[in-house]
């Protein structure tokens, strides 16, 4: 079925008609800016919508063959495969909107819902909600969490018990950590769990959620504003 975005007239703030020829302009004109972008396959009209606190840095990843070929959840993500298959000259880039980092997820979700981009595997902005892992991937994830790779390996039972009690709390607010370098995100059911993942205190998680600052220039920590199930 044809995508609805073909019938929606979105006028971008900036349009780069050839991702190959306009490479330097994409870097230069978006340095130090955050916002929402769209990558469009001019052959078939399919597109990808994303966001970044550093658009110039994000595009550097797309222009890196090593990044495009990087294995993510068992294989390169769809937009990466498309860029590798068709080449940059067959794609255009739109800067749909510049906005503050605190509003990126909200605005990205708006355009994902509006444009229904075919190359977006995940339908929730900045998260892996709705992503269906294959059974093989689920098994691989389970194995990777075993023994020394498990976050509780070598820790005292009392610490694990405290964390489990926090996770089981019905009043625990979910926390989202966006990895800006890979456009990946993880959802945690408490500040404690998120802190364990990053190796920081619960207070640090709270502070970064409030400030909207990027932790170590890589992790954007957000509150999902919903209670854990």
Domain positions in the chain = 8-115, 155-227
pTM score, whole prediction: 0.54
pLDDT digits (tens, 9 = 90+) for 31-52: 999 999 999 999 999 999 999 9
Residue of 41, 65, 47 lying closest to 4 (CA atoms): 47
pLDDT digits (tens, 9 = 90+) for 195-229: 888 988 888 888 888 888 888 888 999 886 544 33
Res. 100: pLDDT tops 90: yes
Residue 65 CB: number of other CB atoms within 10 A?
Answer: 10
What fold is seen in the domain 155-227?
Arc Repressor Mutant, subunit A (1.10.10)
CATH homologous superfamily of 8-115: GIY-YIG endonuclease (3.40.1440.10)
Is residue 41 a contact partner of residue 90, using CB atoms and an 8 Å limit? Answer: yes
How does strand 35-41 pair with strand 91-98? antiparallel
116's CB contacts (< 8 A; 6+ apart) are 3, 4, 5
193-205 b/e with 16+ CB inside 10 Å = b?
bbbbebebeeebb
């Amino acid at each position: 079925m044809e995508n609805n975005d073909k019938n929606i007239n979105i006028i971008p703030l900036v349009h780069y008609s050839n991702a190959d020829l306009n490479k330097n302009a994409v870097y230069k004109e978006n340095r130090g800016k955050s916002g929402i972008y769209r990558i469009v396959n001019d052959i078939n009209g399919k597109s990808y919508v994303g966001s970044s606190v550093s658009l110039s840095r994000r595009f550097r990843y797309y222009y890196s063959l090593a990044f495009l070929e990087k294995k993510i959840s068992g294989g390169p993500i769809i937009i990466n495969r498309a860029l590798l298959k068709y080449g940059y000259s067959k794609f255009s880039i739109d800067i749909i909107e510049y906005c503050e980092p605190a509003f990126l997820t909200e605005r990205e979700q708006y355009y994902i819902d509006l444009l229904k981009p075919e190359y977006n595997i995940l339908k929730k902005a900045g998260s892996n909600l709705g992503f269906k892992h294959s059974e093989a991937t689920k098994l691989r994830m389970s194995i990777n969490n075993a023994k020394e790779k498990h976050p509780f390996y070598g820790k005292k039972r009392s610490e694990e018990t405290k964390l489990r009690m926090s996770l089981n709390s019905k009043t625990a607010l979910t926390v989202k950590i966006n990895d800006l370098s890979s456009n990946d995100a993880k959802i945690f059911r408490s500040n404690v769990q998120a802190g364990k993942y990053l190796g920081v205190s619960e207070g640090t998680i709270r502070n970064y959620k409030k400030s909207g600052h990027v932790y170590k220039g890589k992790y954007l920590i957000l509150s999902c504003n919903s209670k854990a199930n």
